Structure 1
Amino acid sequence: MHPDIHSYNQSKSSPEKEICQLLAERIDTSLTEAKSKIWHAHPVWFIDGNPIVGYSQLKAGIRLMFWSGASFAEPSLPDKGKKFKDASITYSLPQDIVWEDFDHWIEQSKIIQWDYKNIVKRKGKLERLK
Structure 2
Amino acid sequence: MINPDILDYNDKQSDSDQEMCALLSKIIDLELKDSENKIWHAHPVWFLEGNPIVGYSKQKKGIRLMFWSGKSFNEEKLNVEGEKFQDASVFFNDKTEIDEVDLKCWLAKSIEIQWDYKNIVKRKGELVRLK
TM-score scaled to structure 1, two decimals?
A: 0.97
Gaps of 5+ in 1: none
Whether 2:22 is the aligned partner of 1:45: answer no
State the superposition RMSD in angstroms: 0.8
For 1:47-94, what per-residue CA distance to the aligned partner results, in whole angstroms no more than 9, with x for missing partners? 000000000000121000000000001112124433200000000000
Q: Which amino acid aligns with 1:89?
A: V
Aligned 8 A contact 1:70 1:80 in 2: no
Correspondence for 2:98: 97
* Partner residue in 2 for 1:116: 117
Counterpart CA distance in 1 for 2:117 and 2:68 is 8
Segment of structure 1 superposing worse, 3-12 or 80-89: 80-89
1:24 aligned onto 2:7: no
Q: Secondary structure at 2:106's aligned position in 1?
A: helix
Residue in structure 2 matched with residue 127 of structure 1 by the alignment? 128
Is there any run of 5+ residues in structure 2 with no aligned partner, and where?
none
Aligned-residue sequence identity (percent) comes to 55
C-alpha distance in 2 between matches for 1:77 and 1:124: 23
Partner of 1:74: 75
The answer as to whether partners of 1:60 and 1:90 remain within 8 angstroms in 2 is yes
Give the TM-score taking structure 2 as reference length: 0.96
What SS class does the counterpart of residue 38 from structure 1 fall into? strand
Counterpart-to-counterpart distance in 2, 1:127 and 1:78: 21
Q: Which residue of 1 aligns with 2:88?
A: 87
Aligned length in residues: 130
